[in-house]
Amino acid sequence: MSVIRKTIDLKKILRLNKIKRNKIGLVPTMGTLHEGHLSLVNEALENCDEVWVSIFVNPIQFNDPKDFKLYPSDPNSDIKKIHSVSKDINLFIPKSVREIYPANPISEKFDFGILDKVMEGEQRPGHFNGVATVLKKLFEIFEPNHVFFGEKDYQQTLIVSKLIDNLFPKISLMVCPTIRNENGLALSSRNNHLPKKYQKICGVIFESLLLAKENCGKMSYLDLNKTIKTKIEKSNSLKLEYFEVRNEKNLEPFTQINKNIRYRAFICVRAKGIRLIDNLLLT
């Protein structure tokens, strides 16, 4: 397993490996790895000859500087976790922000239409331009055949898909299912900030999505929203930021059940100030 810290070294290795004509898989992450990340890595191992995991906490995708400062980081433990999956995985952990942004870290402006204007895009202005900026750089460096992303961040997968369609038509995007803990809570690096007790209480987030799946089309959208808000906020420590049902292809809002449209429910809850997001296909 190689752990590369400098972009210049990474480029040299990639150039040398090119001769092998390997099928390259890239799993971009922000580290503090958990089973959710590792499921992406396993999928990459199954589908590619050469697997790279990048670990970089990208400053320009954080609209809240406090959130960036508090974002957990534990590279040594990440290296051990990756090592335990396979010794054949390569890691890119930039030594500093300059390895990715030699000049000032500034977001490019992309046109994602409605995709970056709603839900996470609305709550976190500039977030998806920051995500797309770093991914564009990583895709240019690695020139991967396949990239692996989690369904947990479904809105992000639509942004990645658009970025690929527009700029990297040779890359194929693989979206892997959400991995959850025993209470249904989607695994997330942010869960590390939550005491165990709250991780259990937060099982109600997935329960709410299941309730939405059960009742979508039976209850009015307004009633469904009210029911979910009440269910979440029964616990004093949880606050519903948004619950929305949207067309999973283009994120147009739900109007009425239509057999030809796949609708997905999206939820964001603040637990003790920590933002937790999740989603589920309804129809």
Under rule CB under 6 A, how many of the chain's residues touch ligand AMP? 17
Alpha helices in the chain (DSSP H): 7-17, 35-47, 65-70, 75-85, 120-123, 127-142, 154-167, 196-201, 203-215, 221-233
Distance of closest approach, residue 149 Cβ to ligand AMP, in angstroms: 4
Q: Is 187 in the site for ligand AMP (CB under 6 A)?
A: yes
Q: Is 186 in the site for ligand AMP (CB under 6 A)?
A: yes
CB-neighbour burial class of residue 165 (10 A; exposed 0-12, middle 13-18, buried 19+): exposed
In terms of CB distance, is 187 or 232 closer to ligand AMP?
A: 187
In terms of CB distance, is 189 or 199 closer to ligand AMP?
A: 189
Considering only residues 90, 129, 155, 189, which one is a binding residue for ligand AMP as defined by CB under 6 A? 189
Question: What amino acid is encoded at 204 in this protein?
Answer: V
How distant, in Å, are the alpha carbons of 49, 126, 165, 242 from that of 251?
34, 18, 17, 14
Q: Is 266 in the site for ligand AMP (CB under 6 A)?
A: no
Q: Is 188 in the site for ligand AMP (CB under 6 A)?
A: yes
Catalytic-residue membership of 37: yes
Question: What amino acid is encoded at 12 in this protein?
Answer: K
Task: Look at residues 153, 113, 179, 189 and name the one whose alpha carbon lies nearest to residue 267.
Answer: 153
Considering only residues 52, 56, 142, 149, which one is a binding residue for ligand AMP as defined by CB under 6 A? 149
Task: Look at residues 187, 183, 189 and name the one whose alpha carbon lies nearest to residue 206.
Answer: 183
- Which of 13-21, 94-102, 185-193, 234-242 is the region at the interface with ligand AMP (rule: CB under 6 A)? 185-193
Q: Is 185 in the site for ligand AMP (CB under 6 A)?
A: no
Q: Is 39 in the site for ligand AMP (CB under 6 A)?
A: yes
Contacts of 146 (CB under 8 A, 6+ apart): 23, 24, 25, 26, 44, 47, 48, 171, 172, 173, 174
Distance of closest approach, residue 29 Cβ to ligand AMP, in angstroms: 4
Structure tokens at 191: 């869960």
- Which of 28-36, 100-108, 163-171, 194-202 is the region at the interface with ligand AMP (rule: CB under 6 A)? 28-36
What DSSP character marks residue 106? -
For residues 255 and 275, the answer to whether their CB atoms sit within 8 Å is: no
In terms of CB distance, is 69 or 218 closer to ligand AMP?
A: 69
State the Cα–Cα distance between residues 91 and 44, nearest whole angstrom: 13
- Which of 121-129, 150-158, 195-203, 251-259 is the region at the interface with ligand AMP (rule: CB under 6 A)? 150-158
Contact residues toward ligand AMP (CB under 6 A) are 29-30, 36-37, 39-40, 149-150, 152-153, 176, 178-179, 186-189
Active site residues: 37
